Structure 1
């Protein structure tokens, strides 16, 4: 049976294929969606950061009222993670390639609104891929919840002082134990000191509301939104482990845009090199194969 790069599932009786044949067909289809420069994600990451940064002078100079800046800043935080996520997987460019500097620039700048250092995000995210849903080794297992409202409450609770789940990234870096992980941990401390320093300085100079509505509150709302769609929803109920079992497709009430493409997150876990904006098309092309593999694709 021909399993060339142009392979499709159309007209095939997949139940008759052996596991190696299914894998060959799966890879052939997936490869059609890899490669190229994801300019959309690059513009998204840098543009979103620039808009968020502009809110500070605009509000401090009285050009933009706080009631208008607040929803923009909240959207900025909600949107800030995924471009860095592309960079974490070296989708923009790999180390040694001419545009690797752009990959790293997008990775570092795009998550500043949520104060998540790129090094921490990248190292812990790799551990999530290796150990998705593992009760001890998955750094994101803390979002495992009974349902959506329970998850939202847990997300808020994790950011309270003394929360064990809130320390999972630090524990993961300590477990990794490499020089890179140690540096990432130190950078995280610097980030937190800068963040708290800015909030304190703004409050001290009489701009507490600006700090609260341009950064603190948007950061809280945006972080919960990101944890909901990027962590909880694609892995719920979070009990199964394995390449074809630890992630699912689901239908979001906000649609593909409202969930930032996470309805198709199963594709990312199977093939992290497929850019975010191609995952919907890749999902529909691969869906019959995934169903034959026993993946949870009932949601879409």
Structure 2
């Protein structure tokens, strides 16, 4: 069957998953935000050990990016414009957790979609530096989040409206400010570890599993082949919720308006088309091709 016809079929299937208000994402947003605040409060009052608080902050930091990502694409309000304010509210609520401004992130992220895996054009290409070794992994994580925060200032500042500039600055200040105030005002020893190490752990998990691994080895720019579907072994399936579907990142790049919690259903439906189009469907650890029976 011609590639164009296969793509038409995939688009037709994807339309059935697009447009509805994403109540599950809204619920995820308020769950993550409330648990994040509760974690800090419990630790500050001596009711949670530092290692548990740090791990939870890391996990919730990673999970917060899924909401930010969905909000940037307008997937929370779907095709219902009267709920646009809820979409934006969710984006603004999680942005200070993941440390990426919501109002300006769309500029960086849409550029990534437009030029996926093209060195010099894809701003996320910097994450490919993780392949250089352990030191590269650590340094690239910091560089990656620097790009997320600075892209707007470097590329869109002069053409942006005053409101967007002010919002961008306020988001940056708030993201830094709440961390400084928390570390300064909370008297319990270890608060800096919880806030800073927890953030780095969540940021690293986001950069590595959300950005780096799905696009590796960064040598293909074709629509159906520039992003992978990472299939987990059977024993890991009970823990797959931690990834929030992002291991099937190919679905997102093909159909960005599909909510994250529908990735698996759509992937199952169009898997024969993905395989015919050459989409990498590979093991999450060994990156070896996975047979249809195993996925």
Please give the residue correspondences for 1:23-38 in structure 2 after superposition, counting only pairs within 5 Å. 23-38=7-22
2:33 match: 49
Task: Out of 248-257 and 282-291, give the one that drifted further.
Answer: 248-257
Matched with 2:286 is none
How far the C-alpha of 1:63 sits from its partner, in A, is 3.7
CA distance in 1, matches of 2:9, 2:186: 62
Tell whether the 8 Å contact from 1:80 to 1:114 is kept in structure 2 after alignment: yes
Give the number of the structure whose alpha-carbon radius of gyration is greater: 1
Closer, same or farther: CA 238–181 of 1 in aligned 2, 3 Å: farther
Higher share in helix = 2
Q: Provide the TM-score with structure 1 as the length reference.
A: 0.80
Give the structure 1 partner of residue 123 of structure 2.
Answer: 139
Where structure 1 has 5 or more consecutive residues not aligned to the other structure, the ranges are 1-16
1:177: how far off?
Answer: 5.0
* 1:7 aligned residue: none
Structure 2 contact 128–216 (Cα < 8 Å) conserved: yes
Q: Which stretch of the first structure deviates more once superposed, 117-126 or 133-142? A: 117-126
Distance in 2 between residues matched to 1:91 and 1:164, nearest whole Å: 24
Counterpart of 2:272?
A: 288
CA distance in 2: counterparts of 1:269 and 1:155, whole angstroms: 24
Structure 2 residue 202 is the aligned partner of structure 1 residue 222: yes
Structure 2 vs 1, CA of residues 30 and 75 (structure 1 numbering), >3 Å: closer, same or farther? same
1:175 maps to 2:155 = yes
Distance 1:165 1:136, change over 3 A: farther
1:72 pairs, out of 51, 56, 60, with 56
Superposition map of 1:8-157 within 5 A: 17-93=1-77, 97-145=81-129, 147=131, 150=133, 153-157=135-139
SS of corresponding position for 1:273 = coil
Separation (CA, whole Å) in 2 of partners of 1:226 and 1:154: 16
Distance 1:88 1:181, change over 3 A: farther
Shift of 1:35: 2.9
CA distance in structure 1 between the aligned counterparts of 2:182 and 2:67, rounded to whole angstroms: 28
SS at match of 1:90: coil
The two structures have a TM-score, normalised by structure 2, of 0.82
SS at match of 1:99: helix
Offset at 1:210?
4.8
Instruction: Return 78-87 or 191-200, whichever deviates more.
Output: 191-200
Superposed CA RMSD: 2.9
Q: 3-state SS of the aligned residue for 2:70?
A: helix
Structure 1 residues 234 and 79, CA gap change in structure 2 (3 angstroms): same
Question: Is 1:207 aligned to residue 187 of structure 2?
Answer: yes
Specify the SS of the correspondent of 2:118.
coil
After superposition, residues 250-265 of structure 1 pair within 5 angstroms as: 250-252=230-232, 254-255=236-237, 256-265=240-249
Instruction: Tell whether 2:211 aligns with 1:231.
Output: yes
| Count of matched residue pairs | 280
The answer to whether 1:271 aligns with 2:243 is no
SS at match of 1:250: strand
**Residue 158, structure 1, aligned to residue 140, structure 2:** yes
| Residue pair 2:141, 2:207 contacting (<8 A) in 1 also | no
